[in-house]
Structure 1
């Protein structure tokens, strides 16, 4: 059923962090928790996910940050069929198999809890050689990045930071990726499928969309 998301509730960034931390902290402590903060780069997903770490740890929840940026495929694979193809960007850039294997599946009930915070450095185009960390029961992984929803990845809570088409065009670089975000809106329907949707056209004045939060 499509959500009613016509109205918005203005909220400060600090209050948004507090409300989200409270909601995540209320999730069951018997199992490990996977949280996705989805949105185009200009929406501030990394900033929001980073801001949630300390409040969650203050609630006694072991918390690990993971960025989808560190789970991109090597450049040789990303650019194999062209450097500016929005469909390849949408379908092929994120190494979903590695993300599932190294981060999300180990947090399944009965899983090892052993998480690799980063796999690939896209700037140096080489493995990060990060060490595994083990999350205790009740621990939380905060994963941020674009185009995360609609990929059948397992999450206990999903947050989508929404931008209007004008704000998306203004803040998105490179511009050739814009059709991928339009496709994501059509196919994944993040505003309708995410547990929490936050309007981020003005990052200084976020707003929760009605039917979420």
Structure 2
């Protein structure tokens, strides 16, 4: 039985309206008035719950992306290899963009200099979390922050390129080629953790130690830890990446 709209919490009604209108718009504009009319509320109610229309649409896309990720991760094979986890994460991200082009158009279709969409920040946070094990194993050739930025920039570019290609000219291998090239550029190329005899550079070792400092207690005080982080950051810079230990 269909529930009376008045029985649905106001915030959920606004989210549902945002989903419907965003998909219907196909990447075009969605007006505040249309959202409020469909949800049966006044504009101040929308602002109360989400701050702005963009805040609502960000919440719509973010919620949809989280649901999509959860569903795909349940289906994906669990891997003890952190690099394989990044590879699977890339594929999931691309799949979301291709299956939900309207949502992706909302994320990247109206960019403004210096203003980041909340969803992008959330995806980058997920990437940083996924990259942490690889960093601790000494398998990153760049810092986790740089790796996350490169993966996000490249995967987003691939998605936008594939979305805009004519249906009869879509190159399904583009994502795989770019993904593997990016992974080659941000990793050490070792298939084994440092502790198992993998190839180690001073940069990857510094990145591993810096990542370990996030969780492991040390005998250093705050000032000493900050100084150590600064030194490790210098060692992990591209200029130092060719040295071996």
Structure with a larger share of its residues in helix: 2
Higher gyration radius (CA): 2
TM band (smaller chain): under 0.3
Structure with a larger share of its residues in strand: 1
TM-score by length of 2: 0.25
